[in-house]
Amino acid sequence: MIIELYGCPGCGKTYLIQRITGQTNTVAMSDSNIKNMLINIAKKTSLLSPKSMRLNRKILSCVKNENDKPLYVNKVVEYFVRNIVLLSFGYRHIKKDMFMAEGLVHRVVSMAVNFGWNSDVVDRIMLVLSDEMKDVHPFYLEVDVETCFRSIKERNRHETQMDELDDKNLRSFLKEYEKLFSYVTDNYNFEKVTRDDYRPIEEVIK
């Protein structure tokens, strides 16, 4: 079973995972841990498998007529698609319960935000990923934009291009995330949680 937490940058996904896994036996997977595990898997099974290559082509086909100029983070479309395909590959081969702070839902929305794509594009990509999502339980960690904005500013990291956005662009960035996450949550009937009320997740992992 895979539990995905998705939500605006700065909403506290990693914090909530640490809080929950302190009370359960479910394995928490940080981005660095999952990447290391996927690298080890890739040594045994090629990422250029026919299924991965087909998935890559299908996602690119979904967005071939869309804007490909980044609005916030200077990464090309292929970069985001490769990350989605890599994670999908991992989901097919990792046989343990785990949490993902930035799983497939988060990565699809992140790509859409960065290129200014609308919900129709998100729907097309989510349809392509329907098989990969069969055993995934996504939860929206709902935190308002201003709280996320303050969290990002207070932690004062300089690790990603997002951290270097000025205040106006950072707020715009977060609002676009919030808009698409709200759409995805409502359209796919995913459940919402907050930092203080995450009972729906606890019900799933009992």
Which CATH number does the domain housing residue 47 bear? 3.40.50.300
Rg of the chain, C-alpha, whole Å: 16
Please tell me the predicted confidence (pLDDT) of residue 49. Answer: 82
Element spanning 118, H or E: none
DSSP bridge partners of 6: 140
Please tell me the predicted confidence (pLDDT) of residue 39. Answer: 61
Q: Tell me which residue range forms the domain holding 17.
A: 2-205
Check if the beta carbon of residue 143 is closer than 8 Å to that of residue 133: no
Please tell me the predicted confidence (pLDDT) of residue 25. Answer: 47
d(CA 180, CA 178): 6
Please tell me the predicted confidence (pLDDT) of residue 47. Answer: 61
d(CA 60, CA 107): 14
Condensed to tens digits (0 to 9), the pLDDT of residues 106-126 reads 999 999 999 999 999 999 999
| Residue 1 token pair | 């079973």
Please report where in the chains the tokens 């498998």 appear, as a residue. 49
Residue spans of the chain under pLDDT 50: 24-25, 28, 43
CB atoms closer than 10 angstroms to residue 156: 7
Instruction: Report the number of distinct structural domains present in the chain.
Output: 1
Please tell me the predicted confidence (pLDDT) of residue 126. Answer: 98
d(CA 166, CA 170): 6
Q: pTM for the full model?
A: 0.88
Ramachandran quadrant class, 27 (left: phi over 0; alpha: psi -120 to 50; beta: rest): beta
Check if the beta carbon of residue 12 is closer than 8 Å to that of residue 186: no
d(CA 144, CA 21): 24
CB atoms closer than 10 angstroms to residue 15: 13
Check if the beta carbon of residue 82 is closer than 8 Å to that of residue 52: no
Angle at which helices 31-44 and 77-93 cross, to 10°: 70
CB atoms closer than 10 angstroms to residue 110: 21
